[in-house]
Amino acid sequence: MYQTLVVIHIMSAIIGIGPTFFAHVLFKKEQSVQELRNALTMFKKLEVFPKIGGTLAVITGLILYYMGNFGTFAQLWLLGTLILYIIIQILTIGFVGRYTKKLNTYLSDPNRAKLDALPEEYQKVFNRTNLTFWIVSTLGVIIFILMILKPAGL
């Protein structure tokens, strides 16, 4: 049972955080407005994975903690990964969600079908989206490092 839970935990973490790493490919800096429209459509489809996989990773992680012998919950590697995950969720749902919705609303207007470039205001929103993806990806890498190494004294 324990090993099965470990596999579910690891797979759900990979599936849950994975799309944030893929987002850099979708939201690359040098792309046309049509490519951005396509990226927004694809990202909307990928959003389900972090919601389900990430939630399952937290639940299985807590179950594994209570089943195993990991010491105090206050260890930085353990508590830190949970805090980093919460920050990732806040950034992804709170910021990326709002940014992509604003871009999508603007670009889905039929009057903008032939748009060649984003106006400065929306280019700034796009840049904030891309920066937030970089931050989320970096935090995701730190989570994986902490969970794999479980550094002693941290």
Cβ neighbours of residue 26 closer than 8 Å, sequence gap 6 or more: 39, 42, 43
Query: Distance between CA atoms of 141 and 144, rounded to whole angstroms?
Result: 5
pLDDT digits over 143-152, tens only? 889 888 887 6
pLDDT digits over 125-144, tens only? 999 999 999 999 999 899 88
